[in-house]
Amino acid sequence: MADHERHPFLHGLSKHRGSPPTVVVIFGASGDLTARKLIPAIYNLAADGLLPADFYLVGFGRKSIPDAEFQAVARDAIREFSRRELSDDIWSRLAPRTLYVSGGYDERPAYDRLAARLAALEKESGQELQVLFYISTPPSVFAPIIQNLGASGLAARYLRRPHQSKVIIEKPFGRDLASARDLNRELTTVFTEPQIFRIDHYLGKETVQDLLVQRFANAIFEPLWNRNFIDHVQITVAEEVGVGSRAGYYEQSGCLRDMIQNHTMQLLALTAMEPPVSLDAESIRDEKVKLLNAIQPLRLGPGGDTARAQYTEGLVGGGLVPGYLQEAGIASGSSTETYAALRLSINNWRWAGVPFYLRSGKRLAHRVTEIALRFKRAPGNIFPESDRFNLAANTLAFQIQPDEGLSMVLNAKIPGLETRTQPVQMNFRYATTFGSNTPEAYERLVLDAMIGDGTLFIRGDETERSWQLVTPILEFWKEQGRAGLDIYAAGSWGPASSASQLAANGHSWREP
Ligand SMILES: NC(=O)c1ccc[n+]([C@@H]2O[C@H](COP(=O)([O-])OP(=O)(O)OC[C@H]3O[C@@H](n4cnc5c(N)ncnc54)[C@H](OP(=O)(O)O)[C@@H]3O)[C@@H](O)[C@H]2O)c1
């Protein structure tokens, strides 16, 4: 049975968003992201009929690969990673339009070859094409690619079109405020801000988009969404996995850069921003920046607003796993944090006095991302003494992943002749209502960029403001080395220092 027959709500979803004729050029097309996410995303857009009739995919990389070999790699990637099975019918239309150009990222003649290939595609198609450059390489080559797109005239050539050329740039967007500013400067020398799409794939997740719908399409929430009713907010981005094979990257990054500066800050901004005047990109991004600007500088050091820790050996999924310092490729005595938590104060009329707690970590009890708003307790108490401690504070929790949905903790009467209460949970689950075959984040994001809709992408000032908040913490931690670095057992919910930070305000972390 087709999904829409089983889940009639899917009927209501609009599919009337069209892209102009487009070439997507992926730099770093032999990489992991291209195989696991980008090619399957393009394939699923094709399967949904959302690609323009004139669509081409051009891979770019250093190794010399004939078109046919790239096509075979792409087909295998779809087989292995697509949410839909490979259909010969769809693939036979996409395959001849899947091409490869090889060359060094800092080699000017390679961009001339790319330009010639693009010109040939326009000739074949008999019309002007918009070009979407997707930079999916390690960050060390972001700048040479941008500079060469500028110097070769490629960016400008497609700028004058009715549908201007666009560039998607992968994370990490800088590693501190100075490098993010440098990267913004490189980008805006060659492209204008509306052409630049800084990706944070979290924003493409259905549940993150649903947060906007829940907040602004339901009149019951907005009157409660402020310091009069909300006691505090907890945002958790927990991973069960350890550092795995990414030691080289992670040692240079750590949790604050890898998760908090981008994903967690974005979730915070969407949760706490003022209602935008419309759903267009600039209205939403203006409100996010205003919110980020209202966050107060953090107090560093003992008793301050930050916590950091490393996992030690522990039990995960019933098996013993090594601690961070015992993982392959980790420097002995490394001070890289695998857990980070922040306590933020937002100085505006809506949120003054409401703590926002953010945490993220590897090797936590299980993989979950959620935003939980804890409401103030009911005033007074008319219930018997024995029940007082049973009454829970109401909590509204958005589960972003993996079990996508929304839950509300309420107090209910236990059936019986006495009046006794018990907290109960009301749940809405995406998979139950809408089916589980929802688009992947990258499908939505690639399509949005093709259409030119930047709502789910990060604007230059947003990324700089976010780095401005976390850079002093990074510098302080670097200066401290391992001093003040706490530990937690793998498989737990994090270090004691993070728990005491909440306890100081009479709060405790949820175990979602
Ligand atoms: N993988 C993920 O799940 C994921 C998730 C979120 C964000 N990202 C971001 O997406 C981007 C791409 O990720 P990825 O995992 O696909 O990266 P990757 O596999 O390490 O690299 C992509 C391609 O870039 C080229 N490359 C690698 N190292 C290079 C170097 N030192 N100098 C020049 N070129 C180099 C290689 O292509 P050639 O040798 O063919 O030139 C490689 O196949 C990164 O910025 C990453 O942070 C990745």
Domains: count for the chain:
2
- Spacing, Cα 235 to ligand 1 middle (Å): 29
190 within a domain of the structure (yes/no): no
Helix and strand tally (H, E) in the chain?
Answer: 18, 17
Name all residues whose Cβ lies below 6 A of ligand 1.
Answer: 28, 30-34, 36, 61-63, 105, 136-141, 170-172
Residue 231, both tokens = 């006691």
363 within a domain of the structure (yes/no): yes
157 within a domain of the structure (yes/no): yes
Same domain, 254 and 385: yes
Same domain, 151 and 241: no
User: Which one of 37, 58, 100, 137 would you pick to mutate in the ligand 1 pocket, going by the greatest count of ligand atoms within 8 A of its CB?
Assistant: 137
Domain edge (last residue) among 149, 170, 191: 170
Same domain, 226 and 160: no
Look up the domain containing 361 and give its range. 203-503
410 within a domain of the structure (yes/no): yes
Distance CA 480, CA 462 (A): 28
Instruction: Please state whether the predicted TM-score (pTM) of the whole model is above 0.75.
Output: yes
Q: What is the pLDDT of residues 255-280, one digit of tens each?
A: 999 999 999 999 999 999 999 999 89
Cβ contact 419:425 at 8 Å: no
187 within a domain of the structure (yes/no): no
- Spacing, Cα 213 to ligand 1 middle (Å): 34
Tell me the β-bridge partners of 500.
Answer: none
- Spacing, Cα 315 to ligand 1 middle (Å): 32
Backbone torsions φ then ψ of 420, nearest 5 degrees: -125, 145
Same domain, 144 and 56: yes
Give the residue numbers marked as catalytic.
Answer: 263
Residue 381 confidence (pLDDT): 75
- The DSSP string of 40-104 is HHHHHHHHTT-S-SSEEEEEEESS---HHHHHHHHHHHHHHH-SS---HHHHHHHGGGEEEEE--
191 within a domain of the structure (yes/no): no
196 within a domain of the structure (yes/no): no
Same domain, 337 and 456: yes
188 within a domain of the structure (yes/no): no
CATH number at residue 278: 3.30.360.10
pLDDT tens track, the chain, 512 positions = 444 344 433 333 344 568 899 999 999 999 999 999 999 999 999 999 999 999 999 999 999 999 999 999 999 999 999 999 999 999 999 999 999 999 999 999 999 999 999 999 999 999 999 999 999 999 999 999 999 999 999 998 877 777 889 999 999 999 999 999 999 999 999 999 999 999 999 999 888 988 999 999 999 999 999 999 999 999 999 999 999 999 999 999 999 999 999 999 999 999 999 999 998 999 999 999 999 999 999 999 888 999 999 999 999 988 999 999 999 999 999 999 999 999 999 999 999 999 999 999 999 999 999 999 999 998 877 877 666 667 889 999 999 999 899 999 999 999 998 888 899 999 999 989 988 778 899 999 999 999 999 999 999 999 999 999 999 999 999 999 999 999 999 999 999 999 999 999 999 999 98
CATH number at residue 82: 3.40.50.720
Domain edge (last residue) among 170, 194, 221: 170
Residue 279 confidence (pLDDT): 87
Residue 415 confidence (pLDDT): 93
Q: Which atom of ligand 1 is least distant from the CA of 199?
A: 7
Distance from the Cα of residue 105 to its chain's centroid? 26
User: Which one of 32, 173, 263 would you pick to mutate in the ligand 1 pocket, going by the greatest count of ligand atoms within 8 A of its CB?
Assistant: 32
Same domain, 91 and 208: no
Cβ contact 447:17 at 8 Å: yes
Distance CA 98, CA 151 (A): 26
Same domain, 373 and 476: yes
- Spacing, Cα 284 to ligand 1 middle (Å): 30
Same domain, 163 and 248: no
Same domain, 216 and 154: no
Same domain, 455 and 498: yes
Cβ contact 386:367 at 8 Å: no
Same domain, 304 and 436: yes
Q: What is the pLDDT of residues 95-153, one digit of tens each?
A: 999 999 999 999 999 999 999 999 999 999 999 999 999 999 999 999 999 999 999 99
Three-state DSSP string of 28-40: CCCCHHHHHHHHH
Q: Which atom of ligand 1 is least distant from the CA of 35?
A: 16
- Spacing, Cα 232 to ligand 1 middle (Å): 39
Nearest CA to ligand 1 atom 33: 141
Same domain, 110 and 37: yes
Nearest CA to ligand 1 atom 40: 61
